[in-house]
Amino acid sequence: MLDEYVFGRATRISQEAPVLVVKQQRVSAVPGGAANVAMNIMALGASVGILGVVGADLAGQNLEDSLVFSGIEKLAILKDPTRPTTRKTRVVANHSHQVLRIDHETEEPISSALEEQLIDALDKACEGRDVILVSDYQKGVVVGSTIEKIVALGKKHGLAVVANAKPESAKYYKGATAVSLNRFEASTAIGRMKPIEDSEAEDVVRKLQNELDIDTMIVTLGSSGMVATSKSETSKVPAVKVEVYDEAGAGDTVIATIALCSCQGPIDRSALELATFTAAAVVRKVGVAVPSDEDLRSIAEILR
């Protein structure tokens, strides 16, 4: 995805409708979605390659250019002329107040030919890697059959498979190393309309881990932290208390941190604690962001 921002100053209420009038001051665009996860991995000190699908449009070219500039290796960026590049355009007023988001996207599945190209490219790219990370946004690229093939490739190459999943696709991750859902997604996954309470989180995460047959199941709880369970233990860690400016992209930072920790062995409490600190670093910033070198030095001092 491409995350676009229109920054401006809220000046008044429009006479045409009860909405803010924002005087535009500047516009920016940064890698979003799976590309933001890749940016987080880079920020955390690892090398990363990316695979995905964009439209044959200016937004897709801008996204590719930004990836090249960032140093992320383009393993396979496939162009589909039948779909737009997924874009989220956010209007931000007075430095930090998001007043509107416009999504440009299609959720139609990619063709079987494109899926085959993507899986073939991933198979070839697995040599010398440590983990496959799947960023699942339900935009038509990561569908059930693709997920099952990715998990199979992980087993074939002896790689951890970690995913930021959606409740509709969670069942396809059977056999994965770690899968993360947020509070609301976990509620949907167990057939609940009402978001799960903090007190229910441990029971819910165990239920999902058993039903989905995943090594480690993680449910993030926003300001209440996160809970995870494996076949041997359950851990719950509180969130780091910070002044939150923008929660956009925090889940990307969490899953990037968990994926890197999975390279070192089973995901344990220390991995969750690290993820709460890296996530706290990005919610302090406006817009989708990644931890800075200064953030990481501060975290290292705290956890030393």
Q: How far apart are CA 218 and CA 226, in angstroms?
A: 7
Given the residues 136, 246, 252, 295, the one annotated as active site:
252
CA-CA distance, 83 to 57, in Å (whole number)? 9
Which residues make Cβ contacts (< 8 Å) with residue 219, sequence separation at least 6?
Answer: 180, 181, 182, 183, 186, 196, 201, 204, 205, 208, 226, 227, 228
Residue from 183, 303, 168 nearest 247 by CA: 183
Our answer to whether residue 252 is catalytic in this structure is yes
- Taking Cα atoms as reference points, which of 115, 122, 123, 134 lies closest to residue 173? 134
CA distance 236 to 225: 8
User: Other C-beta atoms within 10 Å of 103: how many?
Assistant: 11
Which residues carry out catalysis?
A: 252
